[in-house]
Amino acid sequence: MTGAAEQIPIVIIGAGFGGIAMAMALRRAGEKNFVIFERAADVGGVWRDNSYPGAACDVVSRMYSFSFDQDYSWSTAFAPQPEIFAYIRGVVDRHDLRRFIRFNTEIAGARFDEGTARWRLDTAVGGAIETPVLISAVGLFNRVKIPDFPGRDRFKGAQFHSAAWRHDIDLAGKTVAVIGNGASAVQFIPKIAPLVKRLYLFQRTPQYVLPKRIFPGTSDWDARMQRIPWLRGLTRLKIFLGYERFVFRRKWRPKARMRGEAGYRAMVAAKVADPALRAKLIPNYPIGCKRQLASDEWLDTLIRPNVEVVDTGIAAITEAGLRTTDGTERAVDAIIYGTGFTPTEYLQPMSVTGLGGRDINQAWREGAEAYLGIAVPGFPNFFMLYGPNTNAITSIIYMLECQARYITDCIRTLRARGASYMTVRDEPHRSFVAMLQRRIAPTVQAMSICLTYYKNEFGRVTTNWPGYAFEYRWRTRAVRPRDYDFVGRTP
């Protein structure tokens, strides 16, 4: 590579909710010299990319929004994707953040130069950037997962992942196979089922799908409160405490969990007359093992005469359709993969190299881990939003704002000490990670029967925060300098 690298004081990668939270924290701290690099042509992250029918938030929208921008009038408790996308674009414009974003620029790799105390970034198109502070806001759900079924490349019909929905394909009157029954499938299947001739749902395991009314912030009273601007802060607090109550129930009241499981079984029994279908819809694992799904249409969709739930494994994809392990072949016109993402593969496909040429994927060979989910030993001045073990029952937006404030304090502390770089020390990092795994171990998420994206290939939960969201806010309230090594002097 030739030519001098562009010098930027602070670089943020990603212009989704995390990158925007970080930008606002920096602006509030008086920082004016930073750049957000976004690989796409607009902001929004997953809410820009996931435009499948029925795409919507599964966290109540008044909580799934920034604390500093609460004037938006959501049309429903669980806002649809177009509203969320419009909201984040509106935040960027209302707070004059677009001028800090460089679109259509993907960061392919980053390596730390100890001599200059700077990160050197390579873009996918060949440019080079140097920065003393690197912040990743790439998120968890940016890489789709499509199982490598034998024969997948031979299928003659249309096939696509729900995160790359083919709006140019008319599914009306078609026979469609949907592989997977996770959060996305629970939303789009009820929308396409009335249109298609026949729909086969291939599921690995059944899901607990609960009605939306059980979630905080969904009552008529909540809707009235949200229409009154001066009550929106109170509404948000009420919803927050409701989600924290879920944490309390999971941790301290196992009987409440069992009542939830019994309630789901009763709901299925009342709605589904066919005993064979009922058996396919009852999970053999505890509620809370997987991400909690919400829908008021799911069971009604599965009992439609043109919908069949298939729980036999897929042996191969043929030119005309799918063959299951019992030898049955089902001809279809289109295959839709509702198979989710690879959230445990943090930062992929970007390469990150720290002190001594240490590759972050090597450091994470048994699972991603970071102090507070933000900092990794041996990777100076490198910080993450939505890092390992920061996914929470409450809104991730709340967690992102906690992280953005903490990272801003890190930058302030680094400059106040006049150091070239700071790196988290091994002891506090190991202590924090051990605490996390110790608290996760007795939870249902860690059970061997739980097949979930929370775990990596070694069975280790690397995505979820085990406690209350407020506890995380307390832990990230301020930087503890003793947890870091400060090296060198600013040139």
Residue type, 161: H
Distance of CA 367 to the CA centre of its chain: 17
Ramachandran region of residue 101, left (φ > 0), alpha (ψ -120 to 50) or beta? beta
User: Which secondary-structure segment (H or E) carries 401?
Assistant: helix 396-416
What is the sign, positive or negative, of the torsion defined by CA atoms of 354, 360, 363, 368? positive
Q: What is the pLDDT of residue 457?
A: 82
Instruction: Measure the CA–CA gap between 201 and 215, rounded to whole angstroms.
Output: 26
Q: What is the pLDDT of residue 57?
A: 92
- What are the tokens at 204? 């690995």
Contact residues for 12 (Cβ-Cβ < 8 A; gap 6+): 19, 22, 23, 34, 35, 36, 37, 135, 137
pLDDT at 344 over 80: no
Instruction: Provide the whole-model pTM.
Output: 0.94
Q: Once rounded to an integer, what is the mean pLDDT over residues 78-91?
A: 96
Q: What is the pLDDT of residue 255?
A: 77
Q: What is the pLDDT of residue 1?
A: 42
The angle subtended at Cα 150 by Cα 147 and Cα 154, nearest 5°, is: 105
Q: What is the pLDDT of residue 249?
A: 63
Assign domain 152-207+253-337 to its CATH architecture: 3-Layer(bba) Sandwich (3.50)
Residue type, 187: Q
Distance of CA 385 to the CA centre of its chain: 11
**CA-closest candidate to residue 475, choices 363, 354, 370:** 370
3 state SS of 351: strand
Q: What is the pLDDT of residue 241?
A: 87
Q: What is the pLDDT of residue 248?
A: 66
Segment 351-378, tens digit of pLDDT: 999 999 999 988 898 899 999 999 999 9
Q: Where in the chain is the domain with CATH 3.50.50.60?
A: 6-143+343-487, 152-207+253-337
Assign domain 6-143+343-487 to its CATH architecture: 3-Layer(bba) Sandwich (3.50)
Q: Once rounded to an integer, what is the mean pLDDT over residues 219-236?
A: 79
Computed on alpha carbons and rounded to an integer, the radius of gyration of the chain in Å comes to: 23
Pairing of strands 314-317, 321-324: antiparallel
pLDDT at 253 over 70: no
Q: Once rounded to an integer, what is the mean pLDDT over residues 475-490?
A: 93
Q: What percent of the chain has pLDDT over 70?
A: 98
Instruction: Measure the CA–CA gap between 316 and 335, rounded to whole angstroms.
Output: 13
- The answer to whether the CB of 35 falls within 8 A of the CB of 11 is yes
